[in-house]
A and B are shown apart, each in its own frame.
Chain A
Amino acid sequence: MTEKQKKATAYWKENLKYLVILLTIWFVVSYGAGIIFKDALNNIRLGGFKLGFWFAQQGSIYVFVVLIFVYVRLMNKLDKKYGYNED
């Protein structure tokens, strides 16, 4: 493997690690909190909201937005680390 290929492989591995972490959170808030564990979470209240209902109709959407911006930040840093950035 050439130096260039090694660098590319290392970059891809780190990228995949980020994807796994972020998509796990994505799954947990929507399918976990909003669907599978909704009934259990509904016993907890957040003001006028039952928590499971809140996750399903509000909370998961907020988390989605945050997840993408975290990803943007992480990847911009990663690009810089490997010299793939274009500024």
Chain B
Amino acid sequence: MSVQLWTYILVGITFALYIGIAIWSRAGSTKEFYVAGGGVSPLANGMATAADWMSAASFISMAGIIAFAGYDGAVYLMGWTGGYVLLALLLAPYLRKFGKFTVPDFIGERYYSKTARIVAVVCALIVSFTYVAGQMRGVGIVFSRFLEVDINTGVIIGMVIVLFYAVLGGMKGITYTQVAQYCVLIFAFMVPAIFISIQMTGNPVPQLGMGDTLSDGTYLLDKLDGLTTELGFAEYTSGSKSLVDVFAITLALMVGTAGLPHVIVRFFTVKRVRDARKSAGLALLFIAILYTTAPAVAVFARTNMIETVSNQEYANMPEWFKNWEGTGLLNFNDKNNDGKIQYVADANVNELTVDRDIMVLANPEIANLPAWVIALVAAGGLAAALSTAAGLLLVISSSVSHDLIKNVFNPDLSEKGELWAARISAVGAVIIAGYFGINPPGFVAAVVALAFGLAAASFFPAIILGIFYKKMNSKGAIAGMIVGISLMLFYMLKFKFGIFDGGKAAVAGLKDSWWFGISPEGFGTIAMVVNFVVALAVNKFTEEPPEDVQEIVENIRIPSGAGDAVSH
């Protein structure tokens, strides 16, 4: 059977599965819509969190980015896992005890202020839309290559599917589809990785294969270090980013992880505080399976690619090379007309450009794996992108229906009315996300990385202070959030998009004027510190929070008696 046919079959089966689950688990109340009724088991929540968390960026782009960045790729590996330690130890148990529906719920009540709630809603919307844009683009890439439809058609198919189960099922539908999506995506990621690991090193465990020897007895990593230096790239295991930037990006991603509303809200769906702790651990375990495999895939893919293309005749390139050239993601330009491919670091001599996004998608083809494995990767990529998109859309719709409409504009709204408002907001959010998918802003991971900076700069300090500092007041928290997210937005627009210096073309030239030598991806760390400082300074000169709020803080520190999540 052809790859095409296999892809139609596997994608068809998985989509039918998601829709079936959505119909079985549709939401009947706002509580089911926002927090899946609050009775999700830690195991199911762990899997759902992992699928929610691992986006198109993790599945499609990450191994590719690491393949080209070498050691520097560690910022994503540590950054996107280490945050769970913060989440499990510093946030999840207390927010579960607090027992509300959304992150702005916590901010609004802990800081006894409508303004605080509105600021939190705006932050949640900015973070979630930045993030969801990347997911829709991921859906488009997978569809365009594997189903050979137009990217726009692909995005629209994806929108319809997400719309169906997010609008119908709310958090309940999303949670159980995410459990299925986790199984699909982890299987799809591991199968080719294991195949390739055996092919190259004879070791069936990719995590160990990465450090194993090739058939000629040399260590794989030594071989790759040799190849990369020979071609003029930075040595694979050394990387090229500065230490301070690696530090800042890693911290921004970790803290951002712990501050992302669509991740935090998952811990509202379990029954007890101890379940929240446990499901954070399980979530990280499930995530770690992919995250420790990705660097191995990166090493295999980079070595394979260099060996296949470097100094080889263009005419002899295998079929996958031509396939990917067709999508425009792989590009060969024979500058010296010798008919061979020169792939080197020097931009004047280099003849091959490779989009990082294709490394995972093309990997099974490069390694000559069977057709069904290639199709499986397509289904996995779609599962990763759809599950994250659905989680984000839910945060967006609940921010609008619960935090804005119900709690700010129309407190008299009935339960039924709120459920309808939630569904309509979800439709609106899907349409906006689809627009971003059709008009994508840059490649997937770059945009996603910025969402973390924004979350780190806004929510993390406000939540941490809200739990660990009883005397933190509303004025301090609001000032901190506004200054933090504004500073981050400013830095992002200036140094990532070049808005103030004549557009994207100016971005490369601005690198020398980065503050403290920190890239826009890492700047969330600085913006977070500024948020903390501003919040504490303003707090010092304004009045203490009321007695009853201080009591709430004492109460959330005690794990027992969490009860159900309630709206008021």
Contacts and interface: CB of A to CB of B under 8 A. Distances in A.
B272 interface: yes
Contacts of B220: 48
A49 B90 contact: no
Nearest to A84: B560
B243 interface: yes
A48 B81 contact: no
Contact of A48 (B93, B222, B291): B222
A53 B71 contact: yes
Contacts of A26: 82, 85
Interface string B193-219: 000000000000001001111000001
B274 A61 contact: no
Contacts of B272: 86
B222 A22 contact: no
Interface stretch (B155-163, B180-188, B360-368, B551-559): B551-559
B499 interface: no
Contacts of B291: 61
A76 B559 CA distance: 10
A76 B274 contact: yes
Interface string A56-87: 11101110110111011001100100011110
Contacts, number: 130
Interface residues of A, number: 42
B85 A23 contact: yes
A4 B272 CA distance: 21
A84 B274 CA distance: 10
Contacts of B243: 35-36
Contacts of B219: 47-48
Contacts of B82: 26, 30, 60, 64
A12 B238 CA distance: 43
Contacts of B471: none
A58 B81 CA distance: 11
Which DSSP category, helix, strand, loop or mixed, fits chain B's interface?
Answer: helix
Residue picked from A30, A50, A68, A85, most chain B C-beta under 10 Å: A68
Contact of A72 (B211, B281, B554, B557): B281
A64 B250 contact: no
B280 A68 contact: yes
Contacts of A23: 85, 89
Classify chain B's interface size: 35 or more
Contacts of A76: 274
Nearest to A47: B211
A56 B72 CA distance: 9
Given A23-B89, A47-B212, A68-B88, A11 B288 contact: no
A11 B554 CA distance: 11
B557 A12 contact: yes
A48 B221 contact: yes
Interface string A26-58: 100011001110100010001111100110111
Interface string B211-240: 111000001111000000000000001100
Given A11-B558, A79-B560, A61 B237 contact: no
A54 B212 CA distance: 13
B281 A31 contact: no
A31 B274 contact: no
B221 A31 contact: no
Contact of B281 (A35, A53, A58, A68): A68
Nearest to A76: B274
A86 B278 CA distance: 14
B506 interface: no
Contacts of A38: 71
Interface of B: 66, 71, 73-74, 77-78, 81-82, 84-85, 88-90, 93, 207, 210-213, 219-222, 237-238, 243, 246-247, 250-251, 272-274, 277-278, 280-281, 284-285, 288, 291-292, 295, 554, 557-562
Q: Nearest 5 CB-CB pairs, A to B?
A: A48-B219, A56-B74, A48-B211, A68-B281, A84-B560
